[in-house]
Amino acid sequence: MNILVYLIPIALTLGFLGLIGFLWSLRNGQFEDLDGAAHRILHDDDPA
């Protein structure tokens, strides 16, 4: 069972990284215009 000593922190860290990533993208304004972002991929000459 000693493997748990490694596995639990690893599992929690990975989950935590996902959470941080989400909060970062939220703060970064990536959820501001969901409708627009969905259509933006269809624009021909979007330099981004």
Which positions lie near other proteins, rule CB under 8 A? Answer: 1, 4, 8, 11-12, 15-16, 18-19, 22-23, 26, 31-36, 39-40, 42-47
C-alpha–C-alpha distance, residues 26 and 24, integer Å:
5
16 neighbors 22 (Cβ within 8 angstroms): no
How far apart are CB 15 and other proteins at their closest, in Å?
5
Joined together, the tokens standing for residue 21 give 């990533």
How far apart are CB 6 and other proteins at their closest, in Å?
14
How far apart are CB 39 and other proteins at their closest, in Å?
3
